[in-house]
């Protein structure tokens, strides 16, 4: 066999930022519009780009890294398990999944867990479960089950999910869509009750609408929702994929109003950002409607995912991250509200899930996110006029104060930032 020369130049310089940007533009599907920063390393609340510049991460991968980037205990669990056994499929049991079930149920006061991978898979799984429950338990006629959702929701990107979105960017051009959904205004309990029919099986809702711009419902809304769902025998599904696992200063955001969902969805921070892990949490009655062969996932509940999730949950509970989210959230919001800028319309949030809404005449949120990037803070704009602010839950008081200084400069003098 004739050997050809190795085409790789071993001592070639590393790719530059511009080369990375060019490669993404040439070969990647253009379904994202990222900022012109190429990240290569992270630790705690900080990330570094390929040029060595450091940034405070105020997006946390949409709350996937609540525990901070590269948390050492989660990393250790990942590497240790990866060296032993990564996947078995659910055709066989493994020694991590039962412990994951037990620890997650204990932390969340759940009866049973359905393990999945992405948040969207958890949402799809929940829809299947509540439909099956509606037919098997509630007695809804076959193929007539309805699920009520809220306007301006965000639950994922699958065809079924975008079909009940009210965001034109998410749904236009992707039909036809799955039937069986009714849409009501978020925060309006009267509208929810009016939309219920004998075929209604569930109400799917975010405790705080994240992608919509961190929209908080009126106080008392979820207490009323809980009563309505109980009165009409429908399942209350809380999508806590972004709000859960400490982000709002509680393990689950439902705790702020002292209620319990019938079915809860978690993901993102369930793995501390190391691995796709999500879960559907519910009761014996609801999850018990699934029989062998009716639902599953090749990777769902694999031992590597379970070992990572167990460690991620432990550090969240044992290292005071939830309490820190409450304290640092109050400090961060107070600092942001103290900024005197004509661009700011409102600062809102709960815990470390925050948003700065700008006046329409301010020129758009992306302009200010670019100014923040130049000052070493990474944020994301949403819905044109809102900046989302969600740093990892391990942020310190001095880091919060430094970040507020950068926000003040960017929001008062964006061109100079």
200 DSSP β-pair partners: 146
List residues with catalytic annotation: 154, 239, 268
What does DSSP say about strands 146-150 and 181-184: parallel, antiparallel, or unpaired? parallel
Going through 50-152 in order, the beta strands assigned E by DSSP cover 54-57, 112-116, 146-150
Cα 305 vs. chain centroid, distance in angstroms?
A: 17
CB contact at 8 A, 188 and 148: no
| CB within 8 Å of 208: residues ≥ 6 apart | 214, 215, 216, 217, 242, 243, 248, 253, 350, 353
Residue 326 neighbours by CB under 8 Å, 6+ apart: 249, 250, 351
Q: How many angstroms separate the CA atoms of 312 and 72, rounded?
A: 10
Rounded to an integer, what distance in angstroms lies between the CA atom of residue 64 and that of residue 274? Answer: 9
Q: Alpha-carbon distance 62 to 90, whole Å?
A: 29
Torsion of CA 53, 56, 57, 59, to 10 degrees: -130
CA count, 13 A, side-chain hemisphere, 211? 19
CB 204 within 8 A of CB 126: yes
Residue that the structure tokens 């009165």 belong to: 231
């Amino acid at each position: 066999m004739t050997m050809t020369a190795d085409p790789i130049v071993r001592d070639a310089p590393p790719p530059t930022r511009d080369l990375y940007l060019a490669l993404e533009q040439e070969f990647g599907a253009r379904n994202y519009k990222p900022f012109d920063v190429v990240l290569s390393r992270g630790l705690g609340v900080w990330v570094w780009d390929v040029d060595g510049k450091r940034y405070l991460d105020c997006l946390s991968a949409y709350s996937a890294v609540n525990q901070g980037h590269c948390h050492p205990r989660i990393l250790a669990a990942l590497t240790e398990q990866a060296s032993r056994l990564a996947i078995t499929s659910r055709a066989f049991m493994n020694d991590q999944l039962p412990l994951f079930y037990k620890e997650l149920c204990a932390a969340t006061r759940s009866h049973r867990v359905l393990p999945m991978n992405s948040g969207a898979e958890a949402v799809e799984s929940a829809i299947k479960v509540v439909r099956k429950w509606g037919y098997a338990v509630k007695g809804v006629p076959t193929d007539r089950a309805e699920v009520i959702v809220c306007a301006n929701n965000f639950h994922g990107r699958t065809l079924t999910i975008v079909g009940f979105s009210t965001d034109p960017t998410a749904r236009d051009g992707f039909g036809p869509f799955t039937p069986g959904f009714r849409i009501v205004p978020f925060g309006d309990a009267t509208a929810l009750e009016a939309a219920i029919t004998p075929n209604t099986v569930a109400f799917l809702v975010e405790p705080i609408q994240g992608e919509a711009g961190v929209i908080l419902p009126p106080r008392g809304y979820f207490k009323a929702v809980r009563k309505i769902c109980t009165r009409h025998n429908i399942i209350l599904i809380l999508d806590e994929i972004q709000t859960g696992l400490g982000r709002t200063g509680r393990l689950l955001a439902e705790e702020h109003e002292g209620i319990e969902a019938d079915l809860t969805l978690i993901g993102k921070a369930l793995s501390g950002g190391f691995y796709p892990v999500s879960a559907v949490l519910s009761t014996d009655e609801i999850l018990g409607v699934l029989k062998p062969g009716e639902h599953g996932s090749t990777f769902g509940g694999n031992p590597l995912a379970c070992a990572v999730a167990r460690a991620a949950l432990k550090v969240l509970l044992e290292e005071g991250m939830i309490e820190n989210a409450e304290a640092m959230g109050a400090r961060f919001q107070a600092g942001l509200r103290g900024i005197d800028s004509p661009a700011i319309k409102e600062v809102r949030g709960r815990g470390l899930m925050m948003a700065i809404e700008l006046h329409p005449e301010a020129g758009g949120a992306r302009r200010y996110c670019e100014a923040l990037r130049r000052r070493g803070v990474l944020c994301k704009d949403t819905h044109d006029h809102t900046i989302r602010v969600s740093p990892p839950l391990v942020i310190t008081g001095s880091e919060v104060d430094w970040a507020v200084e950068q926000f003040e400069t960017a929001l008062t003098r964006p061109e100079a930032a």
